[in-house]
Structure 1
């Protein structure tokens, strides 16, 4: 029994130090600048958008709830407390992405190449959007970091990984993943 308690203690200790090392690793990578930061929008209950979805009408689409708003603020605090240099913050035109960017960073601009192509209504846009996103990144030569607040499908397509709501993924300009940071919703 004593051996089991020791093993459990070691596992808990290892997990705690891993989280601290992960945050420090992300900070060290981002302090060098020139990185791409992909953030999946914060928690917005549900999946996809209603059939009557209109990009200009937030009432017609999924939006952040209180948990998502708080998660967005934690994302912003992470960057603020770590004093991470940011060149630009770009967001999808979907309201849940704009809300995430607003609560996390206040200032941002929207880019249609970050929009979701999950639904059939927008699926035909995928290739064009990914091409435009890659061209934008190729032309970008900032010394700080570039943030993209976007959707699961965009991050999956560009980086070939699944992400949770509010997850931060750091990559270089060749789309090599350098670090990941999860943010909780509560």
Structure 2
């Protein structure tokens, strides 16, 4: 009997979490929230010192797993009624490829979404630039941002896995309100 009660207690929060996620998706559809995603799987970590922004051959890139994750994310967005969105991405190839493979809108590069892994002294400046960019977005269609772990961690205090996304409430607060965290 005690085990049965414990099992019931463990199951009780699940419907509430599902409800919260569905409310987060609804807010995203209505333009009351944005989706901030770490690029999908790219083997390795960080940015190599020889990486050049506009030369994919010098960077970590998506592998087949990463490409499939990005396509699956695009399908997930469409299943939630998000067929068109304003898509903004880091200029790094792995982020641009993730954004393109979502197939829900033209991808616009935004330098404030670029990784500052090798230039940690830019952390505060770049976080402020990103906040200003987000704050300046006009209301309307859903917003999707593709960035990197370091950027997302500084903005939200969370450490996202590759392909993980956070749905953040608009307007953006000093410490953004995370409505949902969604794994790939």
TM-score band w.r.t. shorter chain: 0.7 to 0.9
Give RMSD over aligned pairs.
2.5
Gaps spanning 5+ residues in structure 2: where? none
Per-residue Cα deviation, 1:102-128 (whole angstroms, up to 9, x for no partner): 111352110100000112xx2233222
Aligned to 1:55: 53
2:138 is the counterpart of 1:141: yes
TM (norm. structure 1) is 0.82
- Counterpart among 146, 149, 152 of residue 152 in structure 1: 149
Aligned to 2:94: 96
How many residues of Structure 1 are paired with residues of Structure 2 in the alignment? 179
SS of residue paired to 2:86: strand
Deviation at 1:18, TM superposition (A): 7.7
Check the 8 A contact 1:43/1:166 in 2, yes or no: yes
2:138 is the counterpart of 1:163: no
**10-19 vs 26-35, which moves further:** 10-19
In 1, Cα distance between equivalents of 2:16 and 2:183: 13
- Within 5 Å, give how 1:106-185 maps onto structure 2: 107-119=106-118, 122-172=119-169, 173=171, 174=173, 175-183=176-184
Gaps spanning 5+ residues in structure 1: where? none
- Within 5 Å, give how 1:34-53 maps onto structure 2: 34-53=32-51
